[in-house]
Amino acid sequence: MSQRRGEGRGARGRGVGRGGMSGPYAAGPGGNCICPNCGKREPHRAGIPCTSQKCSNCGSLMIRE
């Protein structure tokens, strides 16, 4: 019994990978970044993850609202 390339036991799930920023990871361009330490809110800047921004009040890393 022959199988074509890409079929068979090891082919399950191929072609359906984790694409860039999709699914539950993409929050969109709007919203706010919030400091989990002091609660300060700042507008989210497109293209810059909140988790890489520091709070201007206390210096902690921000999280996405």
Spell out the domain ranges in the chain.
Answer: 38-65
What mean pLDDT do residues 34-56 have? 94
CB atoms within 10 A of CB 39: 10
- Strand 32-34 and strand 63-64: the pairing is antiparallel
More confident position, 47 or 16: 47
Strand (E) positions, 8-64? 32-34, 41-43, 63-64
Asked whether the beta carbons of 38 and 57 are under 8 A apart, the reply is: yes
pLDDT category of residue 65 using cuts at 50, 70 and 90 = confident
Asked whether the beta carbons of 9 and 29 are under 8 A apart, the reply is: no
